[in-house]
Copies of this chain bind each other. A is one copy, B any other.
């Protein structure tokens, strides 16, 4: 690998410049006026894929959407293949070429769509730098390096790049399921680089995601909003009922109050417990991130377990009540309380929805209110957890050890990355999350950056990972 690493080091400035080119295309999927830029970014990638000799390049157009009053074409899901050798394993990599919105006025120190490489800090600033342009480009630079060196890629590589990730990945799932038996037929494992290190110092591998179930709890009474002077004290107020039920969902220290909710939570095993040792994380990280010292738990282990492997319930808000600044003495006629539960193995969205419904209805009954309850539980998203000992993870771990001379943190994420589960279910192959950037990169925030170190060592990591995938026993 020494020649590959040397090539990557020697081409650092080229990688920076090309990342700058990609950042300069403001491919904001959530802004109708930037839709053509998303398409331009997709075309930029296709040009690179052609130049590098990828084959079977396909642009799948998921159809149309209405956004901000405009009917828009959805940007293409770009599929491409490098190598079709039946004796090699086939690795599918996923990434997205769209980005979050950004305005200089939001508090950026530089123009968000003009890359700035700060030499003194080693940081490369720009919207999309870490999420997710550096990672997707890195896969291309690996192929380029092998070609330049006249080396054969140790695996067959398939890429799947989408342009709608920041806007709900509209249309992606259909394409993945449709192509499962065709384009993705020979895939042996999947690698997604679209999350972050747990801290800022140590690389990591991510093996779990929580699921999420969203709930809407509607209480309605009168046909229209009432004046609290005239009706206060004489009618059952929907807000009062709702607040009482919402207070029976979660305690101030985060304990979920729904009977049975913890029954399906997998117990912590000894092996799992060990994974929490030596993680690159302190409570200060969470205090810095929230700019407050409002953490519930006293230890890193308890804190991360409650982020990763225990369910949580958050109350998000109320639709229909008075929400503006100032004082208004209204009795809202219809209010909808919104909350969600982050779920973990072995909870299922179906079972969660069932026990939440039972609990909410039973609490409402206790109120003896004459108002009406309507409970909605839209389709929940499942949690995901991988076996950290399968060969895909073993390969990645070994690659990290080779490049970074350290063992990775094995982490989960508290949130969901839905495409992970889609690949898992559509292909039934091992999926791995292999992050490139750091926890402080500011992915959806102002001053998004990626450290040059993470970018360049990340390219080496991806190359080494492909070598290890080819090498490990399966």
Shortest A56–chain B CB gap in Å is 35
Interface string of A410-435 (1 = CB under 8 A from B): 00011110000000000000000000
User: In the assembly, what is the distance between CA of A331 and CA of B312, in Å?
Assistant: 12
Contacting pair B316 A329 (CB below 8 A)? yes
Q: With a CB–CB cut-off of 8 A, which chain B residues contact A320? A: 323
The residue that A321 contacts in the complex, of B297, B317, B367, B371, with Cβ under 8 A, is B317
User: In the assembly, what is the distance between CA of A316 and CA of B247, in Å?
Assistant: 16
Please tell me if A237 contacts chain B, counting CB pairs below 8 Å: yes
User: In the assembly, what is the distance between CA of A210 and CA of B319, in Å?
Assistant: 29
Residues of A within 8 A of B (CB): 210, 212, 214, 216, 221-224, 226-237, 239-241, 243-244, 246-247, 250-254, 286, 290-297, 303, 306-307, 310-325, 327-332, 338, 340, 342, 367-371, 378, 413-416
| Top 5 A-B residue pairs of the complex, sorted by shortest distance between their CB atoms | A229-B415, A233-B312, A317-B322, A317-B321, A223-B291
Q: With a CB–CB cut-off of 8 A, which chain B residues contact A236? A: 252-254, 294-296
Shortest A246–chain B CB gap in Å is 5
**Are A323 and B318 also in contact (CB < 8 A) when A222-B292, A231-B307, A290-B222 are?**
yes
Contacting pair B240 A295 (CB below 8 A)? no
Contacting pair A235 B286 (CB below 8 A)? yes
Shortest A269–chain B CB gap in Å is 20
User: In the assembly, what is the distance between CA of A381 and CA of B279, in Å?
Assistant: 57
**Are A312 and B228 also in contact (CB < 8 A) when A234-B303, A323-B317, A414-B233 are?**
yes
**Are A254 and B231 also in contact (CB < 8 A) when A323-B323, A329-B212 are?**
no
The residue that A314 contacts in the complex, of B313, B319, B324, B331, with Cβ under 8 A, is B331
The residue that A323 contacts in the complex, of B230, B239, B319, with Cβ under 8 A, is B319
Q: With a CB–CB cut-off of 8 A, which chain B residues contact A231? A: 286, 290, 307, 414
Q: With a CB–CB cut-off of 8 A, which chain B residues contact A214? A: 327, 329
User: In the assembly, what is the distance between CA of A371 and CA of B293, in Å?
Assistant: 8
Q: A240-B250, A243-B247, A314-B329 are in contact. List 7 more A-B contacts (CB 8 A).
A: A223-B292, A231-B286, A231-B414, A236-B294, A294-B370, A295-B370, A328-B338
The residue that A315 contacts in the complex, of B240, B291, B416, with Cβ under 8 A, is B240
Q: With a CB–CB cut-off of 8 A, which chain B residues contact A296? A: 233-236, 370
Q: With a CB–CB cut-off of 8 A, which chain B residues contact A295? A: 234-236, 370
- Provide 30 A-B residue pairs closer than 8 Å at the C-beta atoms, listed in order of the A residue: A210-B229, A214-B327, A214-B329, A222-B290, A222-B291, A223-B290, A223-B291, A226-B290, A228-B316, A229-B342, A229-B415, A231-B414, A232-B414, A234-B254, A234-B296, A234-B307, A235-B294, A236-B253, A241-B252, A243-B247, A252-B367, A294-B369, A296-B370, A314-B329, A317-B321, A318-B321, A319-B323, A323-B323, A328-B338, A329-B340
User: In the assembly, what is the distance between CA of A286 and CA of B340, in Å?
Assistant: 36
The residue that A230 contacts in the complex, of B297, B307, B331, B332, with Cβ under 8 A, is B307
Q: With a CB–CB cut-off of 8 A, which chain B residues contact A222? A: 290-292, 294
Contacting pair B290 A221 (CB below 8 A)? yes
Q: With a CB–CB cut-off of 8 A, which chain B residues contact A224? A: 291
The residue that A229 contacts in the complex, of B212, B250, B306, with Cβ under 8 A, is B212
Q: With a CB–CB cut-off of 8 A, which chain B residues contact A414? A: 229-234
Contacting pair B319 A332 (CB below 8 A)? no
Contacting pair A416 B239 (CB below 8 A)? no
Shortest A308–chain B CB gap in Å is 9
